[in-house]
């Protein structure tokens, strides 16, 4: 029997929660509880517009963002690059990959941002569909030096649409602190640095300096999905 979430329920995880809890537990083995929230979907077998209805049972009614575990492609197991093409277009990486950090400043994952283009590469038409792909990084302590290992069996994909607007009551509360900085301190740093929270794409997850730390707070905040929008048009 399908269990629908109560009215007002929203799944707004932080990047740390996505990697350290959901992706980590997925890599440990199958879990019906995890799959109810984030299902296994071959992302590149479908068009972006088909993905929302395939979202997890607890997140199917979301109109802003959708989460999926994407298994490693067979060509990747042989050392090749993943095929990011769909029947009608392709996903193209934008910017450089960035690290995902835990609340105690440990590197726990790698984040790559992609944009969906309709048509044949390299002449496709840019759309409003975007995706963050997360992979977990684990450290082996079998020797005196901790060795990082990138886990490729599954990636966690967050698919969303750039709408150009946001609703304040949908924003995730600023409820967490990092490295001894409480919320008021972080907001004060934001004001003094002149940072803005109106970037719909969210910031990178690197926390090398205060500005990047502040931007990390807004990674999830400004995405709404209006059925009247033509998502396949150029923003």
The ranges assigned to domains in the chain are 15-164+171-217
Looking at CATH, the fold of the domain delimited by 15-164+171-217 is given as 2.170.150
**Taking the model in full, what pTM does it have?**
0.67
Q: Which pLDDT value is given to residue 145?
A: 63
Residue 78 reports pLDDT greater than 60: yes
Q: Which pLDDT value is given to residue 215?
A: 41
Give the mean model confidence (pLDDT) for residues 126-143: 86
Residue 152 and residue 235: Cα distance in Å, rounded? 32
Between residues 115 and 59, the one the model is more confident about: 115
Q: Which pLDDT value is given to residue 165?
A: 57
Give the model's confidence band at 193: pLDDT under 50 very low, under 70 low, under 90 confident, else very high: very low
Top-confidence range, 4-8, 160-164, 171-175, 207-211 = 160-164
Please report which residue ranges of the chain form alpha helices under DSSP H. Answer: 15-17, 24-28, 32-37, 74-77, 183-193, 210-217
Residue 123 contacts by C-beta under 8 Å, 6 or more apart in sequence? none
SS percent in the chain: helix, strand, coil, step 5 = 25, 30, 50
Q: What's the chain's average pLDDT?
A: 74
């Amino acid at each position: 029997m399908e269990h629908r979430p109560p009215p007002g329920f929203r799944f707004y995880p932080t990047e740390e929660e996505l990697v350290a809890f959901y992706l980590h537990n997925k890599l440990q083995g199958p879990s019906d509880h995890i799959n109810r929230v984030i299902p296994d979907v071959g992302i590149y077998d479908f068009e972006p517009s088909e993905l929302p209805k395939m979202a997890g049972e607890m997140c199917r009614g979301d109109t802003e963002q959708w989460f999926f575990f994407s298994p490693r492609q067979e060509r990747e197991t042989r050392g090749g690059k993943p095929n990011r093409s769909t029947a009608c277009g392709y996903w193209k990486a934008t910017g450089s990959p960035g690290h995902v950090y835990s609340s105690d400043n440990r590197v726990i994952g790698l984040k790559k941002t992609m944009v969906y283009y309709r048509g044949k590469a390299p002449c496709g038409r840019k759309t409003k569909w975007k995706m963050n792909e997360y992979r977990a990084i684990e450290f082996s302590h079998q020797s005196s030096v901790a060795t990082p290992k990138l886990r490729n069996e599954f990636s966690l994909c967050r698919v969303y649409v750039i709408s150009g607007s946001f609703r304040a009551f949908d924003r995730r509360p600023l409820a967490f602190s990092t490295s001894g900085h409480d919320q008021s301190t972080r907001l004060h740093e934001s004001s003094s640095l002149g940072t803005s929270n109106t970037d719909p794409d969210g910031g990178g997850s690197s926390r090398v300096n205060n500005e990047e730390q502040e931007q990390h707070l807004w990674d999830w905040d400004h995405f709404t999905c209006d059925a009247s929008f033509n998502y396949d048009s150029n923003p």
